Amino acid sequence: MRNPAALRWMVGAILVSLVIGALAFFVIISPTLDATAEARERAESEQARIDQLEIQLAGLKADFARIDEFRAELAEIRVGMPSEVLLNELTRQVDSHATQTEVVIADVSVSTPFEVLAPRSAAPPPPAPEEGESEDEDGGDAAPATPEPTGPTLPEGFYAVPVQLLTVGTYEDTLDFIERLQFGNERFLFVNGLQTSVLEQSGAEGGRPAVEDGDLETTISFVAWVLLNTDGEIVDPEDADVVVPELPSGNGNPFAPLQ
């Protein structure tokens, strides 16, 4: 016959062992397992980030190997869209087109550059709150968030230089001049206005050439683009204030031949 006291000691020992095991699991083993799992997740995340950085590094190495090609492309773009107004260069290019097409530029007007801003459409109105959602936790009216306008973005320092020409020439020569101005110019230009009138035969006078019946007098408006340096500023070297340069307007004809 078993000893009841020994049986009670055995049951008590088993219960104590279970309690110790449970405490060991919740106090030592479980936190260790959780920490190990978290460390494994962090390691996997870091490895994924390292893999992504290695891919980016490989792309940068490939781009660096083509750095001369990119510089040449940038130099070509800078010819069409320089970081300065370069009015003398623009005058030379336009005068060359006029000479090749036998069109006479009777007058020119250059206006002050202006910054080009992307069109922005109005943001859609916020949705009307449903019943019970118009008040915040304090019981007052909740101020709805104001949506931002949407639209394309343009780089900072993107300017347009408005130019207006008064030309005299035949119909065919005028069309040829406009086509060269828009599509055959080293500088990127955008013709945005035309106004023509048909002339009658007359002799040369007041700096204007002789014309035949049917010749055209055409007012051509266009803009030349300027993309400033990455700081987005036109800086006066004397006082380093940000300014937009003043250009001459109607002060003589730079396309007139030298006397």
Question: Tens of pLDDT along 98-112?
Answer: 999 999 998 999 998
- Of all residues in the chain, what percent are helix, strand and coil, respectively (each to 5)? 40, 20, 40
Local structure of residue 211 (DSSP, 8 states): B
Domain ranges for the chain, please list them. Answer: 1-65, 83-118+145-259
Q: What's the distance, Cα to Cα, between the start and end of the chain in Å?
A: 139
Coil, strand or helix at 123: coil
pTM here is 0.55
Main-chain dihedrals φ then ψ at residue 117, nearest 5 degrees: -115, 140
Residues 189-219 pLDDT 10s: 999 999 999 998 888 877 678 888 889 999 9
* Nearest Cα residue to 226 out of 89, 93, 110, 86: 86
Residues 17-64 pLDDT 10s: 766 766 666 667 667 777 777 888 888 888 888 888 888 888 888 888
Q: What is the pLDDT of residue 172?
A: 93
Which fold would CATH assign to domain 83-118+145-259?
Alpha-Beta Plaits (3.30.70)
> Is residue 163 scored above 90 in pLDDT?
yes
C-beta of residue 249 within 8 angstroms of C-beta of residue 107:
no
Mean pLDDT value of segment 233-246:
38
Coil, strand or helix at 226: strand
Distances, alpha carbon 126 to alpha carbons 57, 144, 150, in Å: 43, 7, 14
User: For residue 157, what pLDDT band results from cuts at 50, 70 and 90?
Assistant: confident
Token pair of 71 as six digits: 């510089």
C-beta of residue 174 within 8 angstroms of C-beta of residue 218:
yes
Residues 121-134 pLDDT 10s: 655 666 666 665 55
